[in-house]
Amino acid sequence: MNSTNQSLKPITTKINQAGNLEIGGCDLVELAEKYGTPLYVLDEETIRAVCQDYKNAFKTYSKVNFMFASKALCSMATSAIAASEGFGFDVVSAGEIYTVHKAGADMSKVLFNGNNKSYDELSLALKLGVGRISVDNFFELSLLNEIAKSYNKTADILLRITPGIECHTHEYIQTGHLDSKFGFDLTQIDEAVELILNDFTNLKLHGLHAHIGSQIFETSIYGDEIEILVKEIARLDKKFGLKLNEINAGGGLGVKYTDSDCPPSTFTIAEIIINRLNECVEKYNIEPPALFIEPGRSIISTAGVTLYTVGSSKQVPKGKAYFAVDGGMADNPRPSMYQAEYYAEIANKPDFEPLQDVTIAGRFCESGDILIKNIKLPQLEEGDILCVYNTGAYNYSMASNYNRVQKPAMVLVNNSQSDIIIKRETLEDLTAHDEIPHRLRK
C-alpha cells in the first residue's frame, strides 16, 4: 500500500485555472506576491495525511506511540498540528522543549534526546514534566541524577544504545553504527544499568532507545534493530531481574526528493517492525513492550515547498547556464552539506515544455551555493517563481543568517486559506542582539 511520504509533491498540488501551480487551494504565484520570497509553504492536508498513514499502518499493534521528531521542523503551529493528531514529540534542545510546551503539547508525551544535554536543559525538562529523557552517556546519567535529586524528583529515562547497524545513507546522517557519537555501546549497557540500580536512585529506567539513521530506504534493518532491542531487554531481565517495558525504535524513514527516489511506505515499514516484534516477543519470552516510533522527515518534508524569485543569469561559454534565485544555502543548506538533490517547477509556467538544462544557483557568496544542478526547465526569465519541492524537513530548521540575510517567512495553507506561522525576519531582527561596547562609540 502506498503512503504519502512516497509522493514527490504535496498531495493538494495542481495546476489551477490561471495556469499556475496551486497547493492547499492557494495559488503559489499569489502567495509569492503577498508574502514575498523566499517563502516556505506548508500544506496542512499533507501533514495530516502522513500522520494518518502512520496510525493506520501500525494499528495492529495495540501498544504503539508516535512522537514527531521536532528537529525536522519545530514551530508552534506544526507542533499544534502534530499534537492534534495524537503525536508526542522527540525533542533535542531547550528551545524545542519550550516550543512544544508553548504550543500546548502534553509534556508527558515528550522525550528529550541528545548526546550533550546541559544542566539548564535537563532542569527545564524536569520542571516542565517531560515524560522521558533518553540518556546518552555516563556523564549524563550522573548529571541527571544530581539534578533530579536536588528537585526531589525521579527522572523517567530510557537508555539510548548504539545497535551497530549501518544503513546506506550519507555518513553524516547515520546514527546507529558502532563508530557514532550517539548512545551507549552494547558492551556498556550493563555498567549503566548497575549504576542506575545501585547508585543513581533518582533515575527510573523504563526501556531502550535506538536510532539507525535518516533518509532510510532499506527495510530489513528495521527488523534487525527491533531484534537487538528485544534481545537486550530479555538479557537484562535475566541478569538483573529488570522488567523493562518500552522500546523506542527511532524514525528515519525516507522521502521522495527526486523522481529516481523510491522510499518504502509507512505500511511496509510497519509490517516489518510489527512482525519482527511479535516474533521476538515469543522468541525471547518477554511481555510485549510499548513501541515508540519517532518519524520526523517523513511527516513534514513532503508537505513543504520553498518559493524563490528568479533573478540574474549567466551562460558560461560552451558551459552551464546559471540562473540565480533570491535564496540558497542559508535557507536550504542541505545541497552544500549532504549533496542533497531536489526537484523544482516554475510556479507560473508549470505546463510549459521544459527545454533548457540549467543550474539553479543561490544568492550567497559561496561558489558551493548551488540549489539544483542540471535540471530541465521551461525558458527562465527574471521574475519567474521557482517552486522547489520536498523542503519541509531540515530547511527552516537548519537555516542561518549567513551574509546577514533575514530568514524567510513560513505560511501554512489549507482549504484555500494561507496563514503566516513564522514571520519573515526584519533588518531590526538581525541587529536586535548586537551590542557596541561603550569604548567603541563615538
Q: Report the catalytic residues.
A: 365
Query: Which whole-number Å values give the CA distances from 233 to 225, 277, 283, 292, 421, in the listed order?
Result: 13, 12, 12, 15, 42
Write out the DSSP string of 372-437.
EEEEEESPP-TT-EEEEES-SSSSSTT---GGGPPPPEEEEEETTEEEEEEPPP-HHHHHTT----
Cβ atoms within 10 Å of 19's Cβ, excluding its own: 13
CB-side neighbour CA atoms (13 Å) of 185: 6
| Strand 370-377 to 356-361 pairing | antiparallel
**Residue 389 near residue 372 (C-beta atoms within 8 A):** no
Give dist(CA 330, CA 62) in Å, integer: 43
Q: Reduce the DSSP state of residue 356 to 3 states and report it.
A: strand
Name the one residue in this structure whose C-alpha cell is 530547511: 395
Residues in the chain, total: 442
> How many Å apart are CA 319 and CA 390, to the nearest integer?
29
Q: What is the DSSP string of 163-196?
A: -----SS-GGG--SSSS-SSSEEGGGHHHHHHHH
Which residues contact residue 38 at a Cβ distance below 8 angstroms, ignoring those fewer than 6 apart?
Answer: 306, 307, 308, 325, 326, 327, 331, 408
- Say how far apart CA 97 and CA 131 lie, in whole Å: 11
> Would you say the C-alpha torsion 289, 184, 108, 65 has a positive or negative sign?
negative
Measure the CA–CA gap between 1 and 22, rounded to whole angstroms: 27
Nearest to 38 by CA among 293, 433, 387, 415: 387
Give dist(CA 45, CA 81) in Å, integer: 10
Number of helices and strands in the chain (H, E): 12, 21
